[in-house]
Amino acid sequence: MGKRGKKMQAEVLAVLRRRRVPLSAYDVLGELREAYPKIAPPTIYRALSALTEHGCVHRLESLNAFIACQCGRHKHASILSICDGCGAVEETVAPDLLKELSSIAGKSGFAPTRHVIEIHGLCASCGSAQALGH
Ligand SMILES: [Zn+2]
Ligand SMILES: [Zn+2]
C-alpha cells in the first residue's frame, strides 16, 4: 500500500464518518469526485476493502454499503442495527453473543472466520413517528 493508497483510505474514511449513513462505493466516489476528478472506482474499492480489513469500516452485506466503525477498533464483529426508515445505523459490540454463535456453528465442525450480524427495523425516532401515525 503506497502513500497515495493511505491518503485515499483517510479520505474515504472521512466521507463515511461525515455522513453517518451507509454509503455504497459509488456514493463515496461521488463525494470524492470534486476533490479528485480523476478518481476511479477500483481506487475506492481498494480503499474500502483495506479499511474494512482494519476494522475502521464495516460492510453491510444486505445493503452492499459501508459505514464507519462507531466503536473504535475492536477485534470482535459487531451487531449493526439498520433503520429502514431513515437509514441510520447503530453499532453494538457483543463479544459473548459472537462466542456463542461460533460455538453453535462449530458443533457441526464448521470453523467461522467472520460474522456479519445485521438487524433491520426502525430506530427509536422512526418507530415513535410511526406509532403517532405519521
Ligand atoms: Zn465497529
Ligand atoms: Zn430511523
What is the whole-number distance in angstroms between the Cα of residue 124 and the centre of ligand 1? Answer: 21
Q: Write the CATH number for 48.
A: 3.30.1490.190
Mean per-residue pLDDT, 49-75? 89
Domain membership of residue 85 as a residue range: 3-131
Q: What pLDDT, on the 0 to 100 scale, is given for residue 23? A: 96
Q: How many domains does the chain have?
A: 1
Average model confidence (pLDDT) across the chain: 89
Give which of 81, 65, 91 is closest to 123, Cα–Cα.
81
Mean per-residue pLDDT, 44-56? 93
Q: At 73, list the grid cell.
A: 477498533
* Residue 30: count of CB within 10 angstroms of its CB: 14
What is the whole-number distance in angstroms between the Cα of residue 52 and the centre of ligand 1? Answer: 10
Residue partners of 67: CB distance under 8 A and separation at least 6? 16, 20, 21, 22, 23, 57, 58, 60, 80, 89, 91
Q: Identify the nearest ligand to the CA of 85 by its number.
A: 2
What is the whole-number distance in angstroms between the Cα of residue 67 and the centre of ligand 1? Answer: 9
What is the whole-number distance in angstroms between the Cα of residue 120 and the centre of ligand 2? Answer: 10
Q: At 66, list the grid cell.
A: 459501508
Question: 38-47, 60-69, 114-123: lowest mean pLDDT where?
Answer: 114-123
